Amino acid sequence: MPVRHFSVPKHYETDLESVLIPNGMIRDRIDRLARNILEECTPHSEITLLCVLKGAYLFFSEMISVLMRLNVDRPNPVRIHVEFVRLSSYANDVSTGHVRILGLNLAGLYGKHLLIIEDIVDTGRSAIALLEELRRTEPASVRFASLLLKKSPHWNGFRPDYVGFIIPDAFLVGYALDYNEHFRDLDHLCILNDEAKAKYQVSLTSNPMAALLMS
Ligand code: 5GP
Ligand code: MG
Ligand code: MG
């Protein structure tokens, strides 16, 4: 959808090809997902939501808000705990192939019913790397919710238990998804244009600190 029909901050107006999923639609979809999740986790009295930083923080925050609201009206509410992990593998719009997992609270996950909250599954490599690492923490169960599943030619076949939207093979920004740490402050999920990719590109060889930006 054309960007001019939406509210976007001035500093991003010329960087976007189109709005793929407007904020309202994202929030509606999360409402539905949260209801499905609550119905299916009813046998458990507690779940631990594991937020994969940074890209999933808005999805996670909206999901928690809806779950808390729904919980209030339930005769058998589910206690919700939160944990965080930082994954990074991207530089510019390309996966480096190496997934770094930082800040996992191994002791806090032992014996828990985990629900991983991720922004997007592209190749599926990050998901598999995280699931392998989590197995070491011996959780009681693990489910995976991703706001987006990309139709990627490099997809490894990993299918999350919960998916918000299946999207075309394009590089998206907004709703906390970044391009070299830009665009996390954009409400809608948008397709980045080529000029913006060049404008915000970081050189990994000339800037040794650029590796720190990968996320
Ligand atoms: P995968 O390991 O499945 O290839 O990629 C997972 C991670 O790569 C995501 O969690 C996200 O951080 C990043 N990623 C993949 N596709 C996109 C995209 O279209 N836009 C942005 N901003 N990040 C992406
Ligand atoms: Mg992510
Ligand atoms: Mg990123």
Q: What is the pLDDT of residues 166-196, one digit of tens each?
A: 999 999 999 999 999 999 999 999 999 999 9
Cα–Cα dist 64/59, whole Å: 9
pLDDT band at 68 (very low <50, low <70, confident <90, very high): very high
3-class DSSP state of 70: helix
Nearest residue by C-alpha to atom 20 in ligand 1: 172
Report how many helices (DSSP H) and strands (DSSP E) the chain contains, helices first. Answer: 5, 9
Instruction: Pick from 50, 92, 119, 214 the residue to mutate for probing ligand 1's pocket: most ligand atoms within 8 Å of its CB.
Output: 119
Residues bordering ligand 3, an ion, CB closer than 5 Å: 90, 178, 215
User: Which tokens in the block code for residue 139?
Assistant: 């959780």
The proportion of the chain whose per-residue pLDDT surpasses 70, expressed as a percent, equals: 91
User: Which tokens in the block code for residue 132?
Assistant: 């392998």
What would the mean pLDDT of 96-112 be, rounded to a whole number?
88
Q: Which atom of ligand 1 is nearest to the CA of 173?
A: 22
Q: How is domain 3-213 classified at the CATH fold level?
A: Rossmann fold (3.40.50)
pLDDT band at 91 (very low <50, low <70, confident <90, very high): low
Residues bordering ligand 2, an ion, CB closer than 5 Å: 52, 55, 119
Ligand nearest to the CA of 159: 1
Closest CA to 83 of 137, 43, 125: 137
Residue 57 Cα to ligand 2 middle (Å): 9
Instruction: Pick from 52, 90, 156, 163 the residue to mutate for probing ligand 1's pocket: most ligand atoms within 8 Å of its CB.
Output: 90
Please check the confidence at residue 82 and state whether its pLDDT lies above 90. Answer: yes
Going along the chain, which residue ranges are E strands? 16-21, 46-53, 79-91, 94-102, 113-121, 141-150, 162-167, 172-173, 189-192
* Other Cβ atoms closer than 10 A to 91: 18
Q: What is the pLDDT of residues 34-52, one digit of tens each?
A: 999 998 887 778 999 999 9
Residue 28 Cα to ligand 3 middle (Å): 24
Q: Which atom of ligand 1 is nearest to the CA of 123?
A: 4
Residue 100 Cα to ligand 3 middle (Å): 12
What would the mean pLDDT of 133-146 be, rounded to a whole number?
95
What would the mean pLDDT of 209-213 be, rounded to a whole number?
56
Which residues, judged by CB distance below 6 Å to any ligand atom, belong to the binding site of ligand 1? Answer: 55, 89-90, 95, 118-127, 150, 171-173, 177-179
Q: Would you state the pLDDT for residue 211?
A: 55
pLDDT band at 208 (very low <50, low <70, confident <90, very high): low
